[in-house]
Amino acid sequence: MELILKQDIANLGFKDDLVAVKNGYGRNYLIPQGFAVLATSSAKKVLTENLKQRAHKEKSIVNDANKVADAIKALELTITAKTGEGDKLFGSISNANLSEALAKEGNEIEKKFITIAGGLIKRLGKYSAKVRLHRDVIVDLAFEVVSDKK
């Protein structure tokens, strides 16, 4: 079953992508939830026209995302956390904590666009995360988790 996505769906595609899914997934979940529409010939024609009009706007959005990406690459981010014995943390550092730290530095990024390699962080040290600013602009963010004890 071919569908046109109306919004970004994790592990499937981005808005206005033409995707092929199993009939049950499309008929029972994507279409009733309003996440997709059937890819009929008329819908495909409308989609191509919309994509042509949006291409110009997309360039400026990508340029803005690249500027933010350069600013993020230049950051030396340090997150302080409470620690117990050795280098173990009380709790963990997640993408929400990274989002807050980036907001303090002046870059508002939603936590759903930040992916930490390996999931949650439970020890002190240097780590990296991927920040998706646009479907074409993904930047690596290096950061360090340090103890709040001095």
CATH number at residue 121: 3.10.430.100
The closest of 125, 119, 44 to 89, measured between CA atoms, is: 125
Domain containing residue 56: CATH number: 3.40.5.10
The number of folded domains in the chain is 2
Residue 54 to residues 33, 65, 76, 109: CA-CA distances in angstroms?
A: 25, 16, 35, 23
34-41: average pLDDT: 93
Is residue 84 domain-shared with residue 55, that is, in the same domain? no
Is residue 25 domain-shared with residue 92, that is, in the same domain? no
Is residue 75 domain-shared with residue 6, that is, in the same domain? no
Is residue 52 domain-shared with residue 90, that is, in the same domain? no
Residue finishing a domain among 11, 37, 61: 61
Residue finishing a domain among 37, 61, 85: 61
Residue 96 to residues 116, 122, 126, 135: CA-CA distances in angstroms?
A: 10, 14, 17, 20
52-82 tens-digit pLDDT? 888 878 888 888 888 888 888 888 888 988 8
| pLDDT exceeds 90 at position 27 | yes
Is residue 82 domain-shared with residue 115, that is, in the same domain? yes
Single pTM value for the model: 0.65
Residue finishing a domain among 10, 39, 61: 61
Report the pLDDT value the prediction gives residue 38, as an integer from 0 to 100.
94
Average pLDDT of the chain is 89
Per-range mean pLDDT, top range of 25-34, 45-54, 79-88, 109-118: 25-34
Is residue 143 domain-shared with residue 73, that is, in the same domain? yes
Is residue 84 domain-shared with residue 47, that is, in the same domain? no
Report the pLDDT value the prediction gives residue 22, as an integer from 0 to 100.
95
d(CA 87, CA 66): 35
What residue numbers bound the domain in which 90 lies?
68-147
Percentage of the chain modeled with pLDDT above 70: 99
d(CA 102, CA 80): 13
- Kindly give, in sequence order, each residue whose CB lies less than 8 Å from that of residue 124, ignoring residues fewer than 6 positions away: 81, 83, 87, 89, 145, 146, 147
Is residue 80 domain-shared with residue 54, that is, in the same domain? no
Per-range mean pLDDT, top range of 28-37, 45-54, 57-66, 139-148: 28-37
Grade residue 150 by pLDDT with cuts at 50, 70 and 90: low
